[in-house]
Amino acid sequence: MAQSYTLPPGKRFKLKDFDPDDRGDFEHKHDADDQTQANLERLHALQEMLYAQQHKSLLIVLQAMDAGGKDGTIEHVMGAFNPQGVHVASFKVPTEEEQAHDFLWRIHKEVPRRGMIGIFNRSHYEDVLVVRVKELVAKAVWQQRYTHIKAFERLLADSGVTVVKFFLYISKEEQKERLLERQQTPDKQWKFSPGDLEERTRWDAYMAAFEDALTKCNTEFAPWYVIPANRKWYRNLVVSQILVETMERMGLQYPDPPPNIESYVIPD
C-alpha cells in the first residue's frame, strides 16, 4: 500500500496526480474497519518492542492545510500507542527565544529519544511552507532550507531515528465543508479561526510550496507520503498501514531476558 502514495526520491510530486478522495479497494467505511483495527493492534505491539528495546526511535511528521485532519489522525491512529511512550509536539508561530536561534533549533529539541515515538503536528516544514507563501523571509533564505532539512533528517536517521512524513491531502472543496462545520457546530466552534480563511485564499501558493517540499525532501531515509484525506476512515487506514510497514522494517524485538531466568525463585 505504501508505494501507492509516494514516489522514488528525485521524482517530482504533482498533486494533481493524487486523488484526495481515493478510497482504494474499499466502498464504505465498514469495509475497512477490520483491517484498520488489525493495524492499530499491530502498532501497539510494535511500540511495546520499541519501548522495551530502547535502541531506536520513530518520528512521525504530519503536515496538512487547515482542517486537514492532523488532530484526528493523532487521535484515531496514534491513539493505538501507549501514551507513556509517545510525545506530541505542535509548532506554532516561533517565540522570541526561538527566533533568536536557527530555524531547526526548536525542532531538534523535540526529537524523540531512544525507545520513544515523537509526533510532529506541523514541523520544520513550516519554514518552507508558510514562511515561503507569506514571504516572511527572503527567497534565498527559504530555498537554502531544503538542503538544511535533508541534512538534519540524515543526521536523525544516522542516529537511529526512523523518520516518516505524511502530507494529509484534502481538496479545497473538502476544506470548505470542514470549515463550515467548525463555524456552525457549537462544540467545534473553538477550532474556528478567521485566520484560516485568509490562508485559504492562498491555496494555490500552498499547493506549489507543498509540491516543492515533497519533491526536494523526499529521501529513502525520510520518505514523504501523500495521504488521501477527504475520507477520514480511509486516511486512518492508509496511515496506520504505512506505520505498520515502517515499524516492521525497524528490526524491533524484545531484549533478551536475564540469563537462567527460570532458575529465579519468586519469594512468597
Please check whether residue 112 lies inside any domain of the structure: yes
85 within domain boundaries: yes
Residue 230's closest CA among 172, 146, 150, 160? 172
pLDDT at 196: 86
Q: Which residues of the chain have pLDDT under 70?
A: none
Establish if 195 belongs to a structural domain: no
3-state secondary structure of 264: coil
Q: Three cell numbers at 164?
A: 516518516
Residue 262 lies in a domain: no
- The verdict on residue 59 lying in a domain is yes
Q: Which domain holds residue 232?
A: 2-172+208-248
Q: How far is Cα 103 from Cα 90, in angstroms, rounded to an integer? A: 15
Is there a domain that residue 197 lies in? no
Residue 15: which CATH number? 3.40.50.300
Q: What is the pLDDT of residue 195?
A: 85
For residue 265, being part of any structural domain is answered with no
pLDDT of residue 1: 78
- The predicted pLDDT at position 2 comes to 81
Q: What is the three-class DSSP state of 163? A: strand
**Cβ atoms of 57 and 247 closer than 8 Å:** no
Does residue 57 lie in a domain region?
yes
Number of separate domains in the chain = 1
Per-residue model confidence (pLDDT) at position 130: 96
